[in-house]
């Protein structure tokens, strides 16, 4: 079974998580979600596997969050659309294996689903 990592190569934590997967000799599929947009369906699937609401994935330290989304209330569907259209806001890395997913912050968290 492949282990999927939703990866942002410019993120040090994401690189650490990828290296951890390589060290564990996992069969890895790397998805650079910053280059190719994550579809709404893919994001919903990830959220279901994580068992969290979309707002949990929002990186609130990002400039775009502070400028456009802070202090505002959005529905779950609106947050999903916001994340799909602004992938920089998605917490990373996210690792999926089978029916489980985990946010790899810190990267050692991903060991729990391997």
Q: Among residues 80, 100, 98, which one has the least CA distance to residue 38?
A: 80
Active-site residue identified among 3, 6, 7, 11: 11
Q: How far apart are CA 47 and CA 61, in angstroms?
A: 20
Contact in structure between 111 and 3 (CB atoms under 8 Å)? no
Q: How far apart are CA 30 and CA 24, in angstroms?
A: 15
The residue written with tokens 């609401």 in the block is 53
Q: Which phi and psi angles does 96 have, rounded to 5°?
A: -120, 130
Tokens representing residue 112 in the block: 């729990």
Known active-site residue 11: yes
Residues carrying an active site annotation:
11
């Amino acid at each position: 079974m492949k282990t999927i990592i939703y990866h942002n190569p410019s993120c040090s934590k994401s690189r650490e998580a990828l290296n951890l997967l390589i060290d564990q000799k996992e069969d890895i599929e790397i998805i650079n979600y910053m280059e190719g947009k994550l579809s709404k369906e893919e994001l919903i699937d990830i959220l279901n596997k994580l068992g969290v609401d979309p707002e949990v994935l929002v990186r609130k330290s990002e400039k775009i969050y502070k400028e456009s989304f802070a202090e505002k209330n959005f529905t779950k569907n609106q947050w999903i659309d916001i994340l799909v259209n602004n992938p920089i806001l998605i917490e990373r890395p996210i690792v999926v294996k089978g029916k489980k997913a985990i946010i790899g912050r810190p990267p050692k968290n991903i060991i729990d689903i391997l």
